[in-house]
Structure 1
Amino acid sequence: MKNDQLPAGRRTLLRLALALGAATAVRMVAADPAGTPARPGGEPPDPVAGPPARAQTGGGAYRLRPMTGHGAPRFLPAPPPVRTRPFEELPELGRDAMVLSFDDGPDPRYTPDVLATLRRYGVRAMFFVCGEMATDHRDLLRVMADDGHVVGNHSWSHPLIPELSRSAIRDELGRTSDVIEQTLGAPPLWYRAPYGAWNRNSFEIGASMGMEPMAWTVDSLDWTRPGTDTIVRRVERGAAPGVVILSHDAGGNRSQSVAALRRYLPALLGNGYRPTVPHRG
């Protein structure tokens, strides 16, 4: 039966249901053109971050298991529409707010120092974790959550997502979401593609798992180990309302990243910025 053949009462209920669904959408602004996004300002992509892509490891494809007695997916879909471009900045956080984010961890050599510095200044951040690291360091996931940080999904083994099949993408994201949910009691609400390499399959599969895509505005390029001074300078020059800063707490020697955070964080606070984290809903 077509909509125009429905009785007036049912048409009213359908309109109400659609209105209620729209009201739950994420209250953030993001451009949504088709295809893989360009970097802000039309510039060519920054050098990719993180370790070289590795072959997929682990067992068979991840399967969404129904909740007991309901037959519904274990992950709720992200609010519509499914995005075709990740968030690169979050202007709705406020004119003095910005986001610090850290990828590839947790690493017991560097993540505790990052957490201690954030705790010292009362700042919350986003940590996009790799499942193969998180599964062996769940204690650090708990510290992140206890300190009020957002724990996001950065895949299991840090592959180039566009080179994977849909089932492999589901496996990479699903296994990591499983570790986070088993450890913290809830699945992640945000994910970030390794190397910033997104495709339509990753947006659709991420949304089916209840996650929104998060990129970044400013790349500190700390993974290249350019020197602490250079990392500090890049972050301070890129600071602006709503920007998302990309750094790393794993994936190699991150001593420069730790030392840089200890310098630029108090400087950002002294300049009136308020590093914080986004909320959904």
Structure 2
Amino acid sequence: MALDNRLLSLLADPQDHEPLVLSDAADALENRGALRSYPVRDGIPLLLAAEATPLSPTAPQPTQLRPVSQFEGLSGWYDDAMSAPGERGALATAGYGILADLLGKGDGIAIDIGCGTGQSAGVVRELGYEPVGVDLSIDQLRIAARRLAVAQATAHALPLRSGSVATAYTTFTTASWGDLDRSLSEIYRVLAPGGRIVNIGVHPCFNGGYSLAEEDGSVRLKPGYRKGGWLEPSHFPQTRIRSRTGGWHWPLADLLNAFARAGLLIAQVVEGGPGDGDAVPIILALAAVKPVELRL
């Protein structure tokens, strides 16, 4: 599988953000200044620090640990769950509808950060953009590669050139980000001035780690909500994706403050989800912009 040229035009070494070039054999991406390379397998660049190999025999070998996605080994189940009728599929459908509204019509490349199996790619492509995805799970990327150009990377070390992205989006990913500040700072770095990020996520108040849906459609909030942190799979009801993967709970204040600390300006907030206007909103969507510096 050939490497997508649109993806190649944006890629950078996640360690120093320097451009990467395709090797003569087209099986690696090389940072010729730092003398290291990253493998390309089945058309997917593997851009984790742990995957780097030195181009010089005298250069030190990398010592970074290879991060493991919570979704590894669950890609087929996840893809089916997010597209099937029922609670999970309805959540995805509502989320992608809000994503389309916030992105609006446009063109050019749109980066999907934490693309999973790439289910939102068709929605984004219909708006006029060309979606390109990054995700940690190689299992999920093998499915996503059928839907969009992809690379393996983490949200807190994006393999993208600084200031190269006009449009970015992420769907149902913040519960996978153990370092919320670092991930949002990376998004800020890769956005061009005036560029925007649309974040679609579960509502931390009504669909988070401390909320419990009642039969009458109301939601009961359990003690512990204000404390952010990791929650094991057993903490979540069986109807939720996170009952298989676990996830990070971020209270609303933590989430909004992290955007502010990164320097992103929130332009629009949407609360929504399946059901009519009387239904409790289980999705929280944020559209934020990297400000343009004014020079007098």
Which protein is richer in helix relative to its size? 1
Query: Does the TM-score normalized on the shorter chain lie above 0.5?
Result: no
Q: Give TM-score scaled by structure 1 length.
A: 0.29
Q: Give TM-score scaled by structure 2 length.
A: 0.28
Which protein is richer in strand relative to its size? 2
